[in-house]
A and B are shown apart, each in its own frame.
Chain A
């Protein structure tokens, strides 16, 4: 009888682990299988020659290069805008943090589609920006703000800025505020204290935010499709075009596999700088 309860105690401890099983199984079937299927299709429909598209046409390689350039510029823009924002959120007091936080969360959770569509209202030739400038007589013909890399970058920066701000802010909150105070008590000017103490300590947040923004921007489809240059598609658009337009699952799969590998390479490289789970928003 006692031995039985003993075994029950052990089982109870192991039992927690079993609760993870449904989720793992679910993801294996509905996430793992699709990725595997894509890889298999790229090799079998009709043959591995799908990967030869890279040799046949420069379009695909160009698309990867454009995608990476746009992704890097977007990441840089997000960092440039996100850092002062997160810094003020961190240092500006409770009320300000709450207001700025709400301003970030609102677009974070509102539709990418709506935001992209809204940007087209701003940026198109008859949009708000151009109309205003034309009416003011600053310019005499509309500026090319849309259907090019600029439009894509503006739209993507807007979509991804909240990710950057939230990562940076989370990183800053982990910094002991007494450290900057200590630096100033030791004679550092506020600017020096920021540069020598706060900035280095906030690097973890910078790495985390940059990694997540870079990775997400590699796979963008919607924003470049609406705001970008149709003649210079990003890789996401090409993949969609192959699968839904050309119904060429093999080439689409091959392009997808290459993008997946590139993304995972970036993530893997990023994990040298930052703990992946902190990027995902796990606390501690």
Chain B
């Protein structure tokens, strides 16, 4: 180690950056257990009252359920469409395939604000502002590129000789897909479903436009509370958001792990 004296310095710098990455977010967790009525550091005492409010507040509860519902259907839709698209773009041979595989990723590049107002304009025309279906459709647009990237990468690392082997052993294209290809890319597909869920669960900009006072997702409700006088219920809700994300991320990483081995 002495041969690289600058390495020690690197470690401490990176430790500071890691703190910068982690700590600011985690501060909301102790704040959510405060006894005081103000969202202020340091938290005072310990109480679960804000969680009680969170669970009994009708608006927050409805919003949480709505977020779960939208997230679930977004995950289903994005994974189904995205996996199919990734297969078509990786395996298909047609003119403009390269360009198409770049273009399907453009929702990542186009600023979300722009996607949001465009979607809003179209949804107004279609009369689906403030509907669950509308939210699912809009979130699927945002989640689709992530699924495509994730599944494409699984497909790229997939050894296509296995499919040739299956064919030489007498398995037709469908049998090969369901018995060999799908089981082997399944972890990647599952992980991308979770990523799609998190994308929807966290999404706020598009949701701000296409939700209405009745059909609202959790981030929208929290955002409105943050803007108009903050009380520690927000910290409790934020803690809940973090918790759900950590669980989903953990599951996704575990699924990825299984693909690696």
Which residues in A have some Cβ–Cβ distance to B below 8 Å? 12-24, 26-27, 30-31, 33-38, 41, 81, 84-85, 87-88, 100, 102-107, 109-115, 117-122, 126-128, 131, 158, 161-162, 190-191, 215-216, 218-222, 226, 236, 239-240, 243-244, 249, 252-253, 256, 259-260, 263-264, 267, 276-277, 280-284
Contact = CB atoms under 8 A, between A and B. Distances in A.
A21 B117 CA distance: 26
Contact of A256 (B14, B94, B113, B156): B113
Interface stretch (B19-27, B47-55, B56-64, B68-76): B19-27
B149 A282 contact: yes
A158 B24 contact: yes
Contact of B202 (A20, A85, A111, A240): A111
B199 to A, nearest CB: 9
Interface of B is mostly: helix
B144 A27 contact: yes
Contact of B25 (A85, A87, A114, A263): A114
B113 A100 contact: no
A190 B24 contact: no
B226 A256 contact: no
Nearest to A86: B14
Interface string B35-50: 0000111000000000
Interface residues of B, number: 93
B111 A27 contact: no
B259 interface: no
A26 B81 contact: yes
Contacts of A267: 109
A131 B219 contact: no
A23 B88 contact: yes
Contacts of B4: 190
Contacts of B24: 115, 118-119, 122, 158
Contact of B105 (A115, A117, A280): A280
B161 to A, nearest CB: 17
Please give me the 7 A-B residue pairs with the lowest Cβ-Cβ distance, nearest first. Answer: A219-B111, A20-B88, A17-B92, A34-B118, A23-B85, A19-B88, A16-B91
Contact of B114 (A15, A30, A127, A260): A260
B54 to A, nearest CB: 14
B238 A24 contact: no
Interface string B1-42: 001101000110110011011101111100100000001110
A243 B111 contact: no
B222 interface: yes
Given A34-B115, A158-B21, 12 more contacts: A27-B103, A27-B104, A111-B219, A113-B223, A114-B28, A117-B238, A122-B24, A219-B110, A219-B114, A249-B117, A259-B113, A277-B102
B100 interface: yes
Contacts of A128: 27, 41
B27 A103 contact: no
A37 B41 contact: no
A281 B148 CA distance: 10
A221 B92 contact: no
Contacts of A81: 17, 20
A122 B27 contact: yes
Contacts of A109: 195, 198, 202, 245, 248-249
A220 B223 CA distance: 15
A239 B21 contact: no
A81 B116 CA distance: 31
A17 B115 contact: no
Contact of A85 (B17, B125, B204, B227): B17
A16 B11 CA distance: 48
B255 interface: no
